[in-house]
Amino acid sequence: MHTTLMVLPLNGENYGFPQPCPPNWGLFETAKKREWLIAKGYPEALLTTNFSVKLVHIPVENKTRKTNETNY
């Protein structure tokens, strides 16, 4: 089974989360993480000094298409 790493802030289900985790999330500075969360629809008012998020693996279907065509 394949999974996708997703970001899930507190009560994020109410604001369109979980969202796919951006590359290098763990290297982001706190300010950049806050900006990303806000850009994805999370309310700034909920981002307190000690906010935290969960990183969760969500199962996804393998949507690879099988064809007889050769990729060039």
Residue numbers of the chain with a pLDDT score lower than 50: 67-72
SS3 category, 12 = helix
- pTM score: 0.78
pLDDT of residue 60: 85
Amino acid at 49: T
pLDDT of residue 69: 44
pLDDT of residue 57: 94
Yes or no: say if 3 and 21 are a contact pair by the CB < 8 Å rule.
no
- Is residue 18 reached through a cis peptide bond, with omega within 30 degrees of 0 on the bond before it? yes
pLDDT of residue 6: 96
